[in-house]
Amino acid sequence: MDHHSIEVGDDIIEPVVVDEENNDNKCNVGKSFPEKPCVSQEFDTLDEVYNFYNFYALREGFGIRKSSNSKSQAIGELIWKKNLCNKAGFKDLSNVKEDGREVVHRHRDTREGCKPKIDVRKSKNEKWVVPRFV
How long a stretch of residues is the chain?
134
Give the lowest-confidence range in 14-18, 22-26, 118-122.
Answer: 14-18
Report d(CA 131, CA 15) in Å as an integer: 5
Contacts with 93 (C-beta within 8 Å, 6 or more apart), sequence order: 105, 109
**Average pLDDT of span 32-46:** 85
The Cα diameter of the chain in Å comes to: 60
Helices (H) and strands (E) in the chain, counts: 1, 7
The domains of the chain are located at 39-93+108-134
Tally Cβ neighbours within 10 Å of residue 77: 9
Report d(CA 33, CA 67) in Å as an integer: 22
> Do residues 27 and 34 touch, judged by C-beta distance below 8 A?
yes
Counting residues of the chain whose pLDDT is more than 90, the rounded percentage is: 30
Topology of domain 39-93+108-134 in CATH is N-terminal domain of TfIIb (2.20.25)
pTM over 0.85: no
Report d(CA 102, CA 14) in Å as an integer: 48
